[in-house]
Amino acid sequence: MVKKYKSTCSYCGVGCGVEITKAPDGKITLTGDKDHPVNRGMLCSKGMNLHYTVNDTSDRLLYPEMRMHRSMPLQRVSWNKAIERTAAVFKSLIEKHGPESVGFYVSGQCLTEEYYLWNKLMKGFIGSNNIDTNSRLCMSSAVVGYKKTLGEDSVPVCYDDIELSDVILVEGANPAWCHPILWRRVEAHKAANPNIKIICVDPRETQTATNSDLFVPLIPGTDVYFNNAIGRLLIENGFTDSKFIENHSDGFDAYKEKVFEKSIKEYAEICGIETEKIIEAAKWIGEAKGFLSMWTMGLNQSVIGVNKNLSLINLSLITGKIGKPGNGPFSLTGQPNAMGGREVGGLSNMLASHRELSNPAHIAEMEDFWGVAGISNKPGLSATEMFEALDSGKLKAIWIICTNPLVSMPDANKVEAALKKAKFVVVQDISQNADTVKFADVILPAAGWAEKEGTMTNAERRVSYLEKVVDAPGECLPDAEIICKFATQMGWGNHFKYNSSSDIYDEYAKSTIGTNIDCSGINYELLKKETIQWPYPADKTFSGNNSRLFEDQIFYTPNQKAQIHAVDGKNPSEQVSEKYPLVLLTGRIRDQWHTRTKTGKVNKLNQHIDSPFLEIHPEDALLRKIKDQQVVMVNGKRGEVKVKAKLTETVRRGTCFLPMHWGKIVNNSFARANNLTSDLVDPISKEPDFKYAAVEVSLY
């Protein structure tokens, strides 16, 4: 019998709804969900082809596997044996070297229930905070930016604000390719209202830049200067909101002093752009009734990622354009459940429900809630720190879940060396093609999208339910079940006994009571009927609008005022030199996702761009006698990459661009962009400086 199901796309953080049809043979097809408030039936190329990744199980890890030494081949074992060994090794390491000798590295693609359990297990029971997520690589600067300005990691806007805005500033993001359905809504809004203005600030002329009214091709790393220049003009031209500044914010005077340190001409010179562009952008923003800013990795993935975030959010604060229809700073989430992961405490410096490790009352609340004692207040290792600690021997065991750090982490050669040194590596994944598999001592095969139920939260705080549609192949198990098996083997079974995913969600939702992200009113019964944005308390104590936050201009900071920060733009990224004179940028392409373990097996998606490439400006290429499509070597301090050159004026002179998706060797090329990326991180958010590395390019 043909059956219909509802779910959510598992790629980007837009969170589009899908309707799945399952045929009698178990194969599925899908379409966009016309009733879904996010996508209204639309899907992008990745979402449209999601079912192929489920129907094609040829690459799947099907059984638990194990080996006693890395020189031996992996051998199929039972679940009991794999879990027993993993628990025995973890117990012995914890006994000998303490709880900080082990770590979990998880993913923004995990479901909220799984994410919650991993955190509960590490922070409540193992006794360290060594759990971090690949969301550290994409969102952590935005998390800090929101916390420092609004008092909480809470996206203040919703997608419906798109249609209510009249100026959209996109900075360090290419939503036309990376958040396509959100961008379709922007395009439709523009088509219906030709007077609305789109400003795109990016060193590359992306598809988003092409669609914009004003493209600002600034020098990489100069975003803070650009934002401060806009801030200066908004103040000079009387576009600030003095009532908001006076009554609802702190920090304006220091901010004003900072942005007036440089003239607009000086700012323009630093950013490598014409002053007219800054003047025009400031005028549009100042005159806008609805001003939305949108950003992603160009701001976040930087050694000054937090400052970049603060400088952009400042523009909404000094103009009072927040908490009002069509207004606000909107961090576009990269992964489908990066938001859900942050809610449950997925970063090594947080506790569940946005509680802080640095707050003794928060620690006491979670100890009481989980029935444990001694939650550590010491932040655990961040993503990059985990691999550094493996390398130094401080971290002995790592459990990698649903992520492929050998392709996605910066300075990937260092990650590879660290994994070689690790005493014990557990890989919990769906694909044999995950590069980590060859370093695994134990493989735990997981159920994938549509093979288990659970929830995710999208970029506008919208929680949605994902139905189980098909049985997982082989002996694959849902991640939540794997965690509970392990916890039971460790002796904590009483605390990890759940009858269903719904029970896990209910426990998590209960932990949010009394917090700013209270979602205690959300449960599976409701989610099976509709998607819901938090906050959504069970006792209806939240009287505001849960789609758009801060309409009352009361913020989550201790004095309830938004905090404006005076930030400097100095960029301490790796400096270019005579040996490495070009700045390397990395990023995504339209039809691939992360490290291609899923999208790479879909022919239709590979038709868009089927192999890695290096974008280089024709004048930089001419200097090096490089012609279009010739194979080149890209060299940097940490490694090299061999790819075909693509000559294009869409990159600035002095910069080049590599997509981040491809792994170590593709068709005899060393295509892994992260061979070259810098190991610098933002000092506060610990987010890597993926978009700034010094390299040289030469003909192969």
Stretch 231-270 residues interacting with ligand SF4 (CB under 6 A): none
Nearer to ligand SF4, 181 or 339 (CB): 181
- In Å, how far are 79, 154, 270 from 445, measured between CA atoms? 10, 34, 51
297 binds ligand SF4 (CB under 6 A): no
Residue 285, CA atoms < 13 Å, CB-side half-sphere: 39
Q: Is the Cβ–Cβ distance between 420 and 390 less than 8 Å?
A: no
Smallest separation, CB 17 to ligand SF4 (Å): 9
Name which of 116 and 177 has its Cβ closer to ligand SF4. Answer: 177
Q: Which residue is nearest to ligand SF4 (CB)?
A: 47
Neighbours of 543 (CB within 10 A): 7
Strand ranges (DSSP E) for 352-503?
355-356, 397-401, 424-429, 442-445, 454-457, 462-466
What is the closest distance, in whole angstroms, from the C-beta atom of residue 15 to ligand SF4 in the complex?
Answer: 6
Contact between 16 and ligand SF4 by CB under 6 A: the answer reads: yes
Which residue has tokens 């290792």?
A: 381
Give the pair of three-digit tokens for residue 245: 């500044």
- If one asks whether residue 14 binds ligand SF4 (CB under 6 A), the answer comes out as yes
- Region from 14-22, 59-67, 160-168, 607-615 binding ligand SF4, contact rule CB under 6 A: 14-22
| Minimum distance of ligand SF4 from residue 166's CB (angstroms) | 24
Does the footprint of ligand SF4 cover residue 15 (CB under 6 A)? yes
| Three-state secondary structure string covering 27-47 | CEEEEECCCCCCCCCCCCHHH
3-state secondary structure 179-227: CHHHHHHHHHHHHHCCCCEEEEECCECCHHHHCCCEEECCCCCCHHHHH
Are 271 and 221 in contact by the 8 Å Cβ rule? The answer is no
Largest distance between two CA atoms of the chain: 71
- Tell the smallest beta-carbon distance from residue 22 to ligand SF4 (Å): 19
Q: Which is nearer to ligand SF4, 7 or 302 (CB)?
A: 7
Is the Cα dihedral 359, 360, 365, 366 positive or negative?
positive
Looking at 12-20, 311-319, 497-505, 620-628, which segment touches ligand SF4 (CB under 6 A)?
12-20
Q: How many chain residues bind ligand SF4 (CB under 6 A)?
A: 14
Q: Which of 7, 9, 286, 459 contacts ligand SF4 by CB under 6 A?
A: 9
Site string for ligand SF4, 300-339 (x = CB under 6 A): ----------------------------------------
Stretch that binds ligand SF4, among 7-15, 320-328, 348-356, 611-619 (CB under 6 A): 7-15
Least distance (Å) between residue 156 CB and ligand SF4:
21
In whole angstroms, how close is the CB of 395 to ligand SF4 at the nearest point?
33
Identify which of residues 7 and 311 has a Cβ nearer to ligand SF4 in the complex.
7
Residues in the chain: 700
Q: Contacts with ligand SF4 in 586-625 (CB under 6 A)?
A: none
Cα 233 from Cα 221, distance rounded (Å):
21
Choose the stretch contacting ligand SF4; rule: CB under 6 A; options: 6-14, 116-124, 145-153, 438-446: 6-14
Q: Are 130 and 386 in contact (CB under 8 A)?
A: yes
- Judged by beta carbon, residue 183 or residue 291, the one nearer ligand SF4 is 183
Select 111 or 351, whichever has its Cβ closest to ligand SF4: 111
With respect to ligand SF4, which residue has the nearer C-beta, 12 or 102? 12
**Angle at CA of residue 115, ends 111 and 119, nearest 5°:** 170
Cα–Cα separations (whole angstroms), residue 348 to 93, 124, 409, 421, 664? 20, 13, 17, 22, 28
Give whichever of 181 and 480 is closer to ligand SF4, judged by the CB atom: 181
Please identify, using beta-carbon distances, which residue of 20 and 366 lies nearer to ligand SF4. Answer: 20
Q: DSSP characters for 50-115? A: HHHHHH--TTB--S-EE-SSTTSPPEE--HHHHHHHHHHHHHHHHHHH-GGGEEEEE-TTS-HHHH
Question: For ligand SF4, which is the closer residue by CB, 185 or 232?
Answer: 185
Tell me which residues in 164-183 interact with ligand SF4 (CB under 6 A): 179-181
Smallest gap from Cβ 347 to ligand SF4, in A, equals 22
Question: What span, in angstroms and rounded, lies between the C-alpha atoms of 667 and 698?
Answer: 19
DSSP output for 572-600 = -SPPP-SSS-EEEEEE--TT--TTSTTGG
Considering the complex, state which of residue 53 and residue 669 has its C-beta at the smaller distance from ligand SF4: 53
Which residue in this structure is represented by tokens 């649903």?
A: 402
Q: Are 179 and 13 in contact (CB under 8 A)?
A: yes
Indicate the residue among 44 and 375 with the shorter CB distance to ligand SF4.
44
Q: What is the DSSP letter of 560?
A: S
**Cβ 483 vs Cβ 124: under 8 Å:** no
Cα–Cα distances (Å) from 174 to 27, 150, 183, 387, 509, in that order, read 34, 25, 9, 29, 34
Does residue 456 bind ligand SF4 (CB under 6 A)? no
Among 4-12, 435-443, 529-537, 575-583, the segment contacting ligand SF4 (CB under 6 A): 4-12
441 or 591: CB nearest ligand SF4: 591
Q: Which residues pair with 645 in a beta bridge?
A: 614
Minimum CB–partner distance for residue 331 and ligand SF4 (Å): 15
Per CB under 6 A, contacts with ligand SF4 among 18-57 are 39, 43-44, 46-47
With respect to ligand SF4, which residue has the nearer C-beta, 221 or 336? 336
Taking the complex as a whole, how short is the minimal distance between the CB of residue 181 and ligand SF4, in angstroms? 4
Inter-residue contact 24 to 1 (CB < 8 Å) = yes
Rounded to a whole number of angstroms, the minimum distance from the CB of residue 620 to ligand SF4 is 33
DSSP 299: H
Using CB under 6 A as the binding rule, whether residue 380 contacts ligand SF4 is answered as: no
Q: Smallest distance, Å, CB 182 to ligand SF4?
A: 7
Interacting span for ligand SF4 (CB under 6 A) from 8-16, 344-352, 384-392, 598-606: 8-16
Least distance CB 37 / ligand SF4 (angstroms): 13
CB of 448 to ligand SF4, least distance (A): 15
Single-letter amino acid code for the residue at 504: I
> 435's torsion region: left (phi>0), alpha (psi -120 to 50) or beta?
alpha
Binding site for ligand SF4 (CB under 6 A): 9, 11-12, 14-16, 39, 43-44, 46-47, 179-181
